[in-house]
Amino acid sequence: MSRQSTRHLLMIEPSQPGFNPETAATNDYQIDVRENATEVAARYLREFRDFRDRLVASGVFVTTVQGPKKCPDVAFPNWFSTHEEQGLVIYPMLTPNRRAERMPGLINLLKRYYGLKMDMAFHEEEGKALESTGSLVLDRVHRVAYCGRSARTDEGLAREWCNKMGYEPLFFDTVDHTGKPVYHTDVVMWVGSEVAGVCSGAIIEKDRERVLKSLSAHREVVEFDNSQLRAFCGNAIEAQGTENQLLLIMSERAYGALNSDQRARLSRYYATIVTGEIPTIETYGGGSARCMVQELF
C-alpha cells in the first residue's frame, strides 16, 4: 500500500529570488512591495535556509539543489513529482520562466533513480498547464486526486494524469479574495494520513459538500476560513521524522492564524508542528511552506 507521506524532501535554493511578474496575473497572493531587490533576495535566502535547517533539525531528510538563474519562483518545485512504485512525472508549467526551472541534470538523476513514468511538458506548446502537487493534492492511500480548476490546472490534463496513475479525480472550483480562482489546489487544502485541512469557504458552494464528504470518508477534517486561506493555513504538508513519527509542516504565519480548537485537533495527530518564518517568501513569492518542498518517495 502507498504511504501518504515520506521522510525525504527536496528543496531548490533560488539563485535570484524575488517577485515574479510572469505569474502575478494568476497568483493574487504575490505582493510586490517594491523594496530594494538585493535586500529582498538576501532575506528570501535567509528564510529559505532557516526553514530548511528547521526541517532537518526535526528529523526530516532534506536534499537541497541549487536552482538556475532568472527563475524567481524556483524555490517552489512544481515541475515534477515522484510516486512510490510508479516513478517520476514531469509537468507543463504556465509561464516561460517557470518552464526554465526544469534542470536537465536533476531530471537525469531523478530518471535514473525512479524511472520516467510520464513527461507531460510538451502540453506547454498548447498553452496548457498542470503544475504537479500544486495542482493535484493527492490522497496517495485511497487514490483520490483533488483538483481545483484554475489557469494552472487544466482539467483535461488532470484527467489524463489520473487515468495513467490510477487515481480518481475530484474537481472543484474555488474563489479567492479577489473573486478569481485560487491559483493552486495546495493553497486551499492538504491531506495527511489521518487528518486533512481545507479552506472550505474558498470552494464554491455547489462543490463544497462533495469535497468535504470525500475527505471525511477516511480522515478527520479541520476546516479553515477565508482569512486563514490568506494566511496559508491550507498550504501545509505532512512528513515523517527520524523515527517515522508524523510531522506537520507549515509557516509561522499559518500556525499563528490557527485558533485554539484547530491547534488542539491537529496536536492529536502531530506531536510536532514544524514552522518556518518565511514572510518575505510568502509576500513576494505568493506561496508558503508546502510550496517549498517536493516529496521524494
Q: Is 121 left (phi over 0), alpha (psi -120 to 50) or beta?
A: alpha
Of the candidate CATH numbers 3.40.50.800, 2.60.120.10, 3.40.50.300, 3.75.10.10, the domain formed by 8-295 belongs to: 3.75.10.10
* Whole-number Å distance between alpha carbons of 212 and 216: 6
For every residue of 235-270, DSSP letters joined together read --EEEE-TTS-EEEEEEHHHHHHS-HHHHHHHHTT-
What would the mean pLDDT of 45-56 be, rounded to a whole number? 99
pLDDT at residue 196 in the model:
99
Interval 150-160 mean pLDDT: 98
Which of 134, 231, 149 minimizes the C-alpha distance to 190? 134
How many angstroms separate the Cα of 129 from the Cα of each of 48, 117, 183, 205? 26, 18, 12, 25
Question: Domain-by-domain residue ranges, the chain?
Answer: 8-295
pLDDT of residue 103: 98
Report H helices in 7-90: 37-57
Its pTM stands at 0.96
Looking at this protein, which amino acid is placed at residue 73?
Answer: D
pLDDT at 85: 87
CA-to-CA distance for 240 and 61, rounded, in angstroms? 9
Asked whether residue 1 carries a pLDDT value surpassing 70, the answer given is no
Model confidence at 11: pLDDT above 90: yes
pLDDT digits (tens, 9 = 90+) for 182-233: 999 999 999 999 999 999 999 999 999 999 999 999 999 999 999 999 999 9
What are 247-296's pLDDT values in tens digits?
A: 999 999 999 999 999 999 999 999 999 999 999 999 999 999 999 999 99
Question: Which residues, other chains included, contact 11 with Cβ-Cβ below 8 Å and sequence gap of 6+?
Answer: 48, 52, 62, 63, 64, 65, 75, 77, 292, 293, 294
Q: How far apart are CA 222 and CA 226, in angstroms?
A: 13
Q: What is the average pLDDT score of the chain?
A: 98
Cα distance between residue 107 and residue 115, in whole Å: 10
Q: Do strands 87-90 and 116-119 pair parallel, antiparallel, or not at all (unpaired)?
A: parallel
Q: What is the pLDDT of residue 203?
A: 99
- How far apart CA 266 and CA 190 sit, in angstroms, is 13
